[in-house]
Every structure is written in structure tokens, then in C-alpha cells.
Structure 1
Amino acid sequence: MKDLNNMTDEQLIHLYASGDENGLSVLIDRYKSKIYTSIYMRVKDDFVAEDIFQETFIKVINTIKSGGYNEEGKFLPWVIRIAYNMVIDHFRKEKRGPTVINNDGYDIFEVMDFADDDTERKMVRTQMDVDLKKLIQLLPDDQKEVLIMRHFCEMSFKDIAEISNVSINTALGRMRYALHNLRKMIEENNLSFQFQ
């Protein structure tokens, strides 16, 4: 019997679909790090990332078992797209803005502290952060998702395009519209932010 680790993704999927559980086990081992990391980069929480990872593979299993898998040669991007959709669903359920985690694991919006700032400036900064999160939530979903992936998850437009299943030009366009709409909302609300 051929060594499973040397089989292609497609061969492993067909093996699993025909009833051999080892096919899926090898696929999970092959890609679990990339898939988990792509989830964790977005949610910044080990427990939530683990839950979404498991939910993703439940959906993968159900799709393959029902014969609905048709992404020949594109297993990893397909699974990452499923995981991405699960993350978006998670944020929609939570109805919260994204958190921006620094290297120490703290939400930058919650712990931003400038030594020279007086209390009033800190309060203004906190209010600006709250206002910005609210404005981001008002963007259309496609624009909000690109903005979150680009600025909060620091993803490349190539990765954003692949995960969103759109062209790079479409991803760039959505980002341009997101920033334009944010600027417009900021002006309408007489807020003061700087965008680059």
C-alpha cells in the first residue's frame, strides 16, 4: 500500500470519501498548523480558535461525506475559506469590533497609554477608539471584512483575495471604498482621525 504521507490531497480526499478515516487524518496533520494559525490571527483567542478549527473540520467532513467537495486541487484554500467564514460568523454573533493585540497579548485599544498624555487626552483617545470601532461596524460586510483582514490581521491583499474568493483588484477596491466610507462617516460625525 502506498505511504499515505506521499499521497496528494485529492487522493487522500477520495480515500476518506470511500471510508478510510486515515485519509482525513493525514490531511489534518498536513495542514492543521496553517489552518489554525489563519483562524488564530483573526480571533486572537486560543479557545475560540480551537472551537472554530473543530467546527471547520466538522463542515469539511460533512461536505466530503455528502459528496459536495468539488475543489479539485484546492483543498487548503477551500478549508481556509470555510474557516474564514466561520470567523466572520463568530464576529457577527458577538457583534463586537475586532481587537488589536500587541506583542504582549493585550488589546491595544484597551491598554493604550501614553506617558505624556494627561487624563483628558486619554479620555479623548479612548472615545476616539470607541467611535472608530462603531464606524467600522457600520461598513458593508465586504468592506468591513477586508479592512479587518488588512489592518487588524495584517494580511496581504493576495491572501485576502484568496480567502474572500475574489480578485486582488476587487479586494483593493473594497479597501479603497472602506477607507472612503470611513472618512465620509468621520467628516459627517465631526470626528478627528488620521488614515494613511
Structure 2
Amino acid sequence: MTDYNNLEDSQLITNVRQDAKAFDALYHRYLPRLYRYCLQRVSDTQQAEDISAQVFFEVLNGLMNGNYHETGNFAAWLFTIARRRVVDHYRQPEVEQLQESHPIHPEIPQQVEDFDEKQQLLTILQSLDEERQELLRLRFAAELRFEEIALIVGRTTAAVKMEIYRTLDQLRIHWEQTYGK
């Protein structure tokens, strides 16, 4: 019996047509990163789940129909599809969403402080242009390597590294100047 969790992506892709467990291993390997990326982009758990499901459905179809060429990088292909689905999401007319009520917890004071810091960071992040925000999402929410990000955005690995490091340095300076922390 094959332990699919220990196989490389390329080995799993080769086995997808013969064994559903190979796709299951790919799914579980990439779902947390893909979901975090989608959630960062749409800021709604249900929509992030829906987009993640759409992406994996498209990936499965692509693998079964031979649309994925093994010379490529699987993670880059997966997140390229995810970027496209997020763009499609924003092209659709907005549907009013019902807001869920959240129960009150005894940890509220710490949660408020944490929330304030997160809001401050979010404000700084939103001041970045969309390209820099996307690079940070791919690096930190999706946990992609620089090489994978370069494939997705069509730039060199060195250019991606430099842009991410410059952006992080810019964020650090802005944070220190604004909040003195």
C-alpha cells in the first residue's frame, strides 16, 4: 500500500487517474494554503471555501483531462487558477450576505487589543498597491516559495524576492513611524 503523503507532487499527479487517494493527498497538502490565500483575497469564510472548492474541482478536471503538463510547477498552476477564480468572484454582482452573530467570550479585552493591532496592520497593508499586496498574499497566506510566485506573476525569482523584501522593509518603517512599536 502506497503512502501518498510521502510522495512528491509529480508522483501524485502521475497516479491521479488510477487512484483517487493520490488526488486526496494533493488536496490535503494544498487546501490549508489555498484556503488562507482565498480568505485573504475575499475576507469571507464561505466565499473562500466556495472558491477553494471551485479551484480543486478545476484542478481535478485538468489532471484527469491531461490539461496539466508535468513540466510545470503544480503549486504555481494551482495558485494561478486560484487567482483567476478570485478575479471572477469580484466580477460577479454582489449578493447581500447575512451577518452571523458572534457570542461574547470572557477573553474579549485581549481579543480587542489583538483586533486593534490587526486593524492597524491591515490599514498599512491596504495602503500598498494591489501588486505588492498580491505578492505578500502569495508568500505568506499561500506559503509559496519565491520560485513559485515568480511563475505565477511572470517575473524573475530575483525580482520577486527583491520586491517582497522591499515591501516588508517599507511596512516595518511605516509601522514604526505610525505606531512606534
Structures share fold, TM-score greater than 0.5: yes
Structure whose alpha-carbon radius of gyration is higher: 1
Q: Which has the higher contact order (CA 8 A, sep 6+)?
A: 2
- Aligned residue for 1:119? none
Deviation of the 1:93 alpha carbon = 2.3
Closer/same/farther in 2, CA of residues 164 and 59 from structure 1, 3 Å limit = same
1:149 to 122, 134, 140: 134
SS of the residue 1:41 aligns to:
helix
Q: Is the 8 A contact 1:146 1:160 kept in 2?
A: no
The separation in 2 between residues aligned to 1:38 and 1:65, in whole angstroms, is 25
Amino acid across the alignment from 1:3: D
Q: Deviations for 1:152-181, whole angstroms, at most 9, x for unmatched residues?
A: x5968x576443233364996xxxxxxxxx
- Aligned residue for 2:178? none
Deviation of the 1:39 alpha carbon = 1.2
Kindly report structure 1 stretches of 4+ aligned residues shifted beyond 4 Å: 153-156, 168-172
- Aligned residue for 1:46? 45
What percent of counterpart residues are identical?
Answer: 31
Q: Is the 8 A contact 1:161 1:167 kept in 2?
A: yes
Q: Is the 8 A contact 1:10 1:73 kept in 2?
A: no
Closer/same/farther in 2, CA of residues 39 and 67 from structure 1, 3 Å limit = same
C-alpha RMSD of matched pairs (Å): 3.9
- Matched ranges for 1:131-170 at <5 A: 145-146=130-131, 148-149=133-134, 158=146, 161-167=150-156, 169=159
Closer/same/farther in 2, CA of residues 44 and 71 from structure 1, 3 Å limit = farther
Amino acid across the alignment from 2:81: I
Q: If the length of structure 2 is used for normalisation, what is the TM-score?
A: 0.58
The separation in 2 between residues aligned to 1:71 and 1:35, in whole angstroms, is 20
- Matched ranges for 1:35-184 at <5 A: 35-72=34-71, 74-94=73-93, 104=115, 145-146=130-131, 148-149=133-134, 158=146, 161-167=150-156, 169=159
Query: Gapped runs of 5+ residues in structure 2?
Result: 95-113, 141-145, 164-181
The separation in 2 between residues aligned to 1:148 and 1:92, in whole angstroms, is 19
The separation in 1 between residues aligned to 2:4 and 2:63, in whole angstroms, is 18
